[in-house]
Chains A and B, each alone.
Chain A
Amino acid sequence: MNSQASSSDTSYYLPSPSHWPIVGSAALLLLSLGATLTIHDLAGGGLLLLAGGGTLAAMLIGWFGKVIGESQNGLYNDQVDASFRWGMAWFIFSEAMFFFAFFGALFFTRVISVPDLASADNALLWPGFQAAWPTAGPGLEQVFTPMAAWGIPALNTAILLSSGATVTWAHWALKRDRRGQLNLAMALTVALGALFIAFQAHEYIEAYQHMGLTLGAGVYGATFFLLTGFHGLHVSIGTLMLLVILLRCLRGHFRPDSHFAFEAVAWYWHFVDVVWLVLFLFVYWL
C-alpha cells in the first residue's frame, strides 16, 4: 500500500440518498403482480405489466443516467473504477451460474432420465420406449423436427463470433483514440447483434409453424426453448447496452484510459458469446 497521499486527497465517491432503488422495487412489484395476473387470465394483468415495464425503464434510464453523469463529471476515482470491475465480474459469474442450472437440466435429462425411462424396469410403465435424443418423451403424442445445427444456428455462430471481433476492434480503436473506427466498429457490433436476434426470431417462428417444435415438445422442446430463449434475452439486453455505448461514443464519451462502461458491456458481450458456443455444441449439434 504505497500511496498514502493519493488515497487521502481523493476519496471514494459516496452517493447521496437516491430514490431510484425504491422505484426499482416498485417496478418489480408491479411486474410480478402483472405477470401473475396475466398467467391466470385475471383482469388488470396487462395494465400492471405495462406500468411495471414503464417504471423499470424509467428507473434504468434515471439510475444509469445519474451514474453516467457522475462518471462524466469525474467523481469516480480509480478505486471506484476497480469496484465497478469487481462488481461486473461477479455479476457475470452469477449469470453463468444461472445458465449452469439449465445446462444441468439438459445434461441430466440426456444422460440420466431419458435412458432411465427406457430401462427394463420402466418398461412396466412405458413399454417400447427407446432412449434417443432428441425426444419428446415416452408419453406425448407430439411429433417434431429437431433444430438442425448447420442452418441458421451455424450462421448465428458466425455472426456472434464476428461481433466479438468487432467489439474488440472497437476497444482497440478506443484505446488509441481513433473515434471514427470506434464508432464504425460499435455500429457494426450493434448491427450484428440485431441480425442475430432477427435470425433467432425467424428460427422460432419456423419451429412453431412448420416443425412442431414448441415449448411443449417434451423435454427437448423445454430445454431448447429455455436455453436459447434466455440466451436470446441476454443477446437482446446486450445489444441494447451496446446501443447505449454506441450513442455515448457518438457523443464523445469515454477516454482512452477511462472507459469502464465500455469494457463492462464488452465483457458481457463476450460472455453471451461463450454461452452461445456451449449452446451450439450441446443444444444444436451433438
Chain B
Amino acid sequence: MNPSMDTPMDKPLTDPHDAGHHAAPAGLWRWLTTTNHKDIGSLYLWFAAAMFLIGGLMAMVIRAELFQPGLQVVQPDLFNQLTTLHGLIMIFGVIMPAFTGFANWQIPLMIGAPDMAFPRMNNWSFWLLPVAATFLIGSLFLPGGAVSGGWTMYPPLYLQGGISYDLTIFAIHIMGASSIMGAINIITTILNLRAPGMRMMKMPMFVWTWLITAYLLIAVMPVLAGAVTMLLADRNFGTHFFDAAGGGDPVLFQHIFWFFGHPEVYILILPAFGIVSTVIPTFARKPLFGYRSMVYATASIAILSFIVWGHHMFTVGMPAGMQLFFMYATMLIAVPTGVKVFNWVVTLWKGSISFETAMLFALAFVFLFTIGGFSGLVLAMVPVDVQLQDTYYVVAHFHYVLVTGALFSIFAGLYYWLPKWTGHMIDERWGRWHFWLSAISVNVLFFPMHFLGLAGMPRRIPDYALQFADFNRIASLGGFVFGASQILLLVVIVKCIRGGEPAPARAWDGAEGLEWTLTSPPPYHSFAKPPEVR
C-alpha cells in the first residue's frame, strides 16, 4: 500500500525539502499563504470556533423564541432562517472544519510525515471556507433574508425563495470543493506518507477513522453538489427535476440529498470515535481493547451508511418493501457501533483510570452518544418513526449524537492535544468547571426534547401549543447555561496559548504515539526525516 517508498530512486534530487523555508512571510500574509499543516490546522480550528459562536448565538435566539408560547423575539420568517443557518453552520462550519483541523495538526504528527501530501491545496481547502461562510451569513442581510427552508433544502419550498437561495447553493458547491480537496489530501497523506514501518494495521485509530471519513467525503460531497445543481437548474433554468408536471418528483431530491446526508452524519461522528479511542486508552493506561475490531467496525459503519438513507423518508409514502429494507439496514448499524461502545468500556475495565478534563469529555461522550444512538434506533423502527418524524424527538436524537457526540469529542481532543500544540498544560480547574457545567446543562437542554417529540411537538416551528410550554422552558434555560459555559472553553484555550505550566514532550503519562516523541510544541517542520516505527 505504500508503493513509492520501496521503489528505487531514478533521478537525482537537487533541492532540499524545505524549499522556501527561509522566506516565510509574516503577519496576515503568512496565514493567507501558508502551506504548513500546523498553521492550516490552527486556521481550521479558529474558523470552527468563530462559526460555533455564530451558530450558537442563532441557537440562543431560537431557544429564546421558544422560551414561551406566542411570538415574542423573532417573527416566523426570521426564525426559519435562523434554524436553517444554525443547522448549516453547525454542520459545515463547525464540526467538519474542526475535525479537519485536528486531521491537519495530528495526522502528519501521528504517521511521521513531514507535512500533508499537497500543502498548497491544503491552504486552498481552508481558504474556500470563509468565502462560503460569507455567503451564508451575509445572505441574512440581503432582501428577502437568508434561506429558510431547513438545512435539508427540500424542494418545492426551496424553489420559492429569493436571491440568497442561489447564493447558498454556490456556498454549498464551494464547501463541497473544499471538503473534497481536504479529503483527497488526507487520504493521500495517509496512504503515501507514512513513516517506514508504519503499516496500516499499526496506524493510530484516529488516523484510521479519518481515512474512512475521507473516503466517505469523496464519495458523497459530489452527490450533494449534484443535488443542489439540480435545484439551481429547477430554480433558474426551467428544468423539471422536482416538478411532477414535467415528470419529475420532489421526492427525488430527498433521495439524492439523503444519499449524501446519511453518510454525512457518519462523517460527523467517525473522527469523534477516533479521538475518543485515543483519549480513553491514555487515561485508562491500557491499550485499546480491540484495535482490529475497531477498524473493522468503522469500515462496516461506513459501508452500511450508503444503504440506510431512506430512514429519513419513512413518511414520504414509499412502498412497504422499501421501508422494511431501510429499517433493517439502519438497525444493523447498531451492531458495529455497539462493538465500539463495548470496546471502550472494556478498555476502561481494570485500567488505572484518572479523570483529566479530556477524559471527562471522552467518558461523557460514550455515555451520552449512546443515548443518542438508542434514540436513533427508536427512530429506525418505521411505525414509531411515523409518529416521531419531524418532531422534537428527532431534534433530541441528533443533538445527542452531534453535541454530546461530535462536539464533546472535539472538546476532549482540544483538552488532550492543546498541551502538545501550545507547549503549555491546560488549566484543569477551569477545564473541570467547563466540563461539569456543560455536561449537566446539555442534558437539561436536550433531554426534555424527547418528551416534547413524543407528546407531538413538530420541529421547525416558532410557536407551539400550550401543553409544550413546560419542557420548552426547561430546555431554553438549559440552553442558556450551556451556551454561557462555552465562554469557559474560550478562557481555557486562551490561557493555554498564553502560558501555563510547560508541557513535556509526552504530556500525558499514558499517551502513546509518534506525536509524543516530538517536543511540545513540535518544530515547524515536524518530521524532516521520517522516524523509524518498529
Which residues of A are in contact with B by a Cβ distance under 8 Å?
A: 1-4, 6-22, 24-25, 28-29, 32-33, 35-36, 39-40, 42, 63, 73-75, 77-79, 81-83, 86-87, 90-91, 93-95, 97-102, 104-105, 108-109, 112-114, 116-117, 125-126, 135-140, 214-216, 218-223, 225-226, 257-258
Sort A-B residue pairs by CB-CB distance and give the 4 closest, nearest first. Answer: A16-B20, A101-B226, A139-B245, A137-B247
**Chain B residue with the shortest CB-CB distance to A35:** B170
A25:B118 contact, CB within 8 angstroms = no
B184:A13 contact, CB within 8 angstroms = no
B35:A90 contact, CB within 8 angstroms = no
- CB within 8 Å of A: which B106-147 residues: 113-115, 117-121, 123-124, 127-128, 130-131, 134-135
CA distance A32 to B221 in the complex (A): 18
Given contacts A13-B17, A75-B19, A83-B193, contact A36 B5 (CB under 8 A): no
What string of 1s and 0s marks CB contacts (under 8 Å) between B187-210 and chain A?
A: 110011100110000000000000
> Closest CB of chain B to A277's CB: distance in Å?
20
A112:B191 contact, CB within 8 angstroms = no
- CB within 8 Å of A: which B211-251 residues: 218-223, 225-227, 229-230, 233-234, 236-241, 243-249, 251
A4-B196, A101-B226 are known; give 19 further A-B pairs, CB within 8 A: A7-B5, A10-B13, A16-B19, A17-B24, A21-B127, A24-B124, A25-B131, A40-B166, A74-B11, A87-B185, A94-B219, A100-B223, A104-B223, A105-B256, A109-B248, A114-B247, A219-B248, A220-B247, A226-B230
Residues of A within 8 A of B251 (CB): 113
Residues of A within 8 A of B233 (CB): 215, 222, 226
Residues of B within 8 A of A73 (CB): 14-15
> What are 21 A-B interface contacts by the 8 Å CB criterion?
A11-B17, A12-B17, A14-B119, A17-B25, A21-B123, A32-B131, A73-B14, A86-B191, A87-B118, A97-B219, A98-B222, A98-B223, A98-B225, A113-B251, A137-B240, A137-B247, A138-B247, A140-B246, A215-B233, A216-B239, A219-B246
Which residue of B9, B121, B218, B219 is within 8 Å of A10 (Cβ)?
B9
CA distance A18 to B23 in the complex (A): 11
Residues of A within 8 A of B12 (CB): 74
Q: Decide if B163 is an interface residue (CB 8 Å cutoff).
A: yes
CA distance A100 to B180 in the complex (A): 16
B6:A2 contact, CB within 8 angstroms = yes
CA distance A95 to B221 in the complex (A): 10
Given contacts A25-B124, A97-B223, contact A74 B35 (CB under 8 A): no
Which residues of B are in contact with A by a Cβ distance under 8 Å?
A: 2-21, 23-25, 30, 32-35, 113-115, 117-121, 123-124, 127-128, 130-131, 134-135, 163, 166-167, 170-171, 173-174, 177, 180, 183-185, 187-188, 191-193, 196-197, 218-223, 225-227, 229-230, 233-234, 236-241, 243-249, 251-252, 255-256, 259, 525, 528-530
> Closest CB of chain A to B377's CB: distance in Å?
28
**Chain B residue with the shortest CB-CB distance to A114:** B247
> Closest CB of chain B to A13's CB: distance in Å?
6
Most buried by A among B131, B219, B525: B131
A36:B124 contact, CB within 8 angstroms = no
Residues of B within 8 A of A78 (CB): 4, 7, 9-10
CA distance A20 to B30 in the complex (A): 13
CA distance A42 to B162 in the complex (A): 13
Most buried by A among B13, B20, B174, B240: B240
Residues of B within 8 A of A104 (CB): 223, 255-256, 259
Residues of B within 8 A of A6 (CB): 8-9
Which residue of B5, B170, B197, B219 is within 8 Å of A79 (Cβ)?
B5
A226:B180 contact, CB within 8 angstroms = no
Which residue of A19, A77, A95, A105 is within 8 Å of B13 (Cβ)?
A77
A14:B240 contact, CB within 8 angstroms = no
Which residue of A82, A101, A109 is within 8 Å of B247 (Cβ)?
A109
> Closest CB of chain A to B439's CB: distance in Å?
38
Given contacts A21-B123, A28-B131, contact A15 B9 (CB under 8 A): no
Residues of B within 8 A of A108 (CB): 249, 252, 255
Residues of B within 8 A of A11 (CB): 13, 16-17, 114, 528-529
Residues of A within 8 A of B240 (CB): 137, 140, 216, 218-219, 221-222
CA distance A105 to B228 in the complex (A): 12
B239:A222 contact, CB within 8 angstroms = yes
Number of A-B contacts (CB under 8 A): 286
B4:A81 contact, CB within 8 angstroms = yes
CA distance A125 to B530 in the complex (A): 68
**Chain A residue with the shortest CB-CB distance to B228:** A101
CA distance A84 to B166 in the complex (A): 34
A25:B19 contact, CB within 8 angstroms = no
> Closest CB of chain A to B128's CB: distance in Å?
5
Residues of A within 8 A of B221 (CB): 94
**Chain A residue with the shortest CB-CB distance to B165:** A36
Given contacts A87-B184, A215-B239, contact A12 B167 (CB under 8 A): no
A14:B123 contact, CB within 8 angstroms = no
B5:A86 contact, CB within 8 angstroms = no
Given contacts A78-B4, A140-B240, contact A222 B222 (CB under 8 A): no
B10:A258 contact, CB within 8 angstroms = yes
CA distance A127 to B248 in the complex (A): 17
Which residue of B14, B128, B196, B241 is within 8 Å of A75 (Cβ)?
B14
Residues of A within 8 A of B127 (CB): 21-22, 24-25
> Closest CB of chain B to A87's CB: distance in Å?
5
> Closest CB of chain A to B146's CB: distance in Å?
13
CA distance A94 to B233 in the complex (A): 21
> Closest CB of chain B to A207's CB: distance in Å?
14
CA distance A36 to B18 in the complex (A): 42
Which residue of B196, B220, B223 is within 8 Å of A7 (Cβ)?
B196
Residues of A within 8 A of B238 (CB): 214-216
Which residue of A7, A18, A100, A102 is within 8 Å of B33 (Cβ)?
A18
CA distance A88 to B236 in the complex (A): 33
**Chain A residue with the shortest CB-CB distance to B188:** A86
A87:B117 contact, CB within 8 angstroms = yes
B30:A1 contact, CB within 8 angstroms = no
> Closest CB of chain B to A165's CB: distance in Å?
28
CA distance A24 to B15 in the complex (A): 27
Residues of A within 8 A of B191 (CB): 86
Most buried by A among B18, B30, B188: B188
CA distance A151 to B174 in the complex (A): 38
> Closest CB of chain A to B256's CB: distance in Å?
6
Given contacts A6-B8, A13-B17, contact A36 B163 (CB under 8 A): yes
B222:A117 contact, CB within 8 angstroms = no
Given contacts A20-B120, A29-B131, A112-B249, contact A82 B3 (CB under 8 A): yes
CA distance A83 to B191 in the complex (A): 9
B252:A113 contact, CB within 8 angstroms = yes
> Closest CB of chain A to B42's CB: distance in Å?
15
A8:B124 contact, CB within 8 angstroms = no
CA distance A35 to B30 in the complex (A): 31
Residues of B within 8 A of A74 (CB): 11-15
> Closest CB of chain A to B239's CB: distance in Å?
4
CA distance A97 to B115 in the complex (A): 28
Residues of B within 8 A of A3 (CB): 5-6, 8-9
CA distance A136 to B2 in the complex (A): 52
Given contacts A93-B218, A219-B248, contact A18 B120 (CB under 8 A): yes
Given contacts A137-B247, A216-B239, contact A101 B252 (CB under 8 A): no
> Closest CB of chain B to A176's CB: distance in Å?
17
